Amino acid sequence: MKRAFDMTLAGIGLVCSWPIWLLIALAIRMEDGGPVFFRQSRYGRGGRPFDALKFRSMVPAASAMPAVAAQVRDPRVTRVGHLLRRTALDELPQLWNIFVGDMSFVGPRALAVAEVEIGGDGREIPQTALAGFAERHRVRPGLTGIAQIYASRDLSRVKKYRLDRLYVRRQSFWLDMRLVAVSFWVTALGRWERRGRKV
C-alpha cells in the first residue's frame, strides 16, 4: 500500500508541478547562470547508492567542497537557494526518485555518500561508522520523516539516527499520513530552515 501511495502521489505531483519547475529553473539561471539541477549519489535501501535529484540551492563551486550538511546561514547557499530551502522546493525533483522507487515520501533522510560528520575534535567521521547506520537503511529513504520535521539542522547525526531508527521500528501507513500532512503545513509556512521548533 505504501509503494502504491508513493507512485500515485509522486505521479500527480510531477504532472501538476511543472509550472513551478519552470519558474524555479528561471530564477536559478538568472541568479548566477549555473546549472539548474544538482545530482548527488545518496544511500538508498540496504545502503545501495542512487542518484538523487534536487534543484541547485548552493553556489556552483559547492560541489567541489567537502560534503558537509548545510548549516543555518550557510554561506554556500544562494539567495534563491534560501527560498527553496525554506519551502523545501529544492526537493521537488525528488518526486522522480520516489516515482521510480529510489525513495519513498516518508522515511529516513537520503544521506549523501560523500557526506561526513564532524566530531567534537574536528575529525571527519564517515557516516557508516555511526551507530544505527545499517538499521535506518532497512527502509527506503524519505522526502520527509520524523528527523526531517522535528530535528534542528545543527543536531548531531547520531541523534538524528535515533529518530530515524524510531521511525523504522514504528512505521505505519497512518504515521506516514500524519508526517506528510505536517510536512505540507511546514512547507506552507516556509519554515523548513527553522525546523526542530514547534510547528
C-alpha dihedral, 187 to 191 to 193 to 195, nearest 10°: -100
Reported confidence tier of residue 172, pLDDT bands at 50, 70, 90: very high
Residue 196 has a pLDDT of 52
Average pLDDT over residues 13-24: 95
What per-residue confidence (pLDDT) applies to 199? 35
Q: Rounded to whole angstroms, what are the CA distances from 164 to 29, 48, 55, 136, 167?
A: 35, 17, 25, 6, 5
pLDDT at position 144: 93
* Contact (Cβ atoms closer than 8 angstroms) between residue 13 and residue 7: no
Check whether 67 has a pLDDT greater than 60.
Answer: no
Residue predicted with more confidence, 62 or 36: 36
3-class state of residue 45 by DSSP = helix
Q: What percentage of the chain carries pLDDT values higher than 90?
A: 55
Whether 25 shows a pLDDT value over 90: the answer reads yes
Quote the mean pLDDT of the chain: 86
Give per-residue pLDDT as tens, 114-137: 887 777 777 887 888 888 888 999
Q: What is the reported pLDDT for 85?
A: 87
Grid cell, residue 137, equals 537503511
The continuous run of DSSP H or E covering 67 comes out as: none
Closest alpha carbon to 86 in 78, 96, 75, 94: 78
Task: Give 100-160 as a DSSP string.
Answer: TTS-EEESSB--BTT-EEEPTTS-EEEGGGSTTHHHHTTS--EEE-HHHHHS-TTS-HHHH
Residue 61 reports pLDDT greater than 60: yes
The type of residue at 167 is Y
Closest of 137, 158, 163 to residue 148, by C-alpha: 163
Please name the helix (run of DSSP H) or strand (run of DSSP E) that holds residue 6, with its range, or none: helix 2-16
The reported pLDDT for the residue numbered 198 is 38
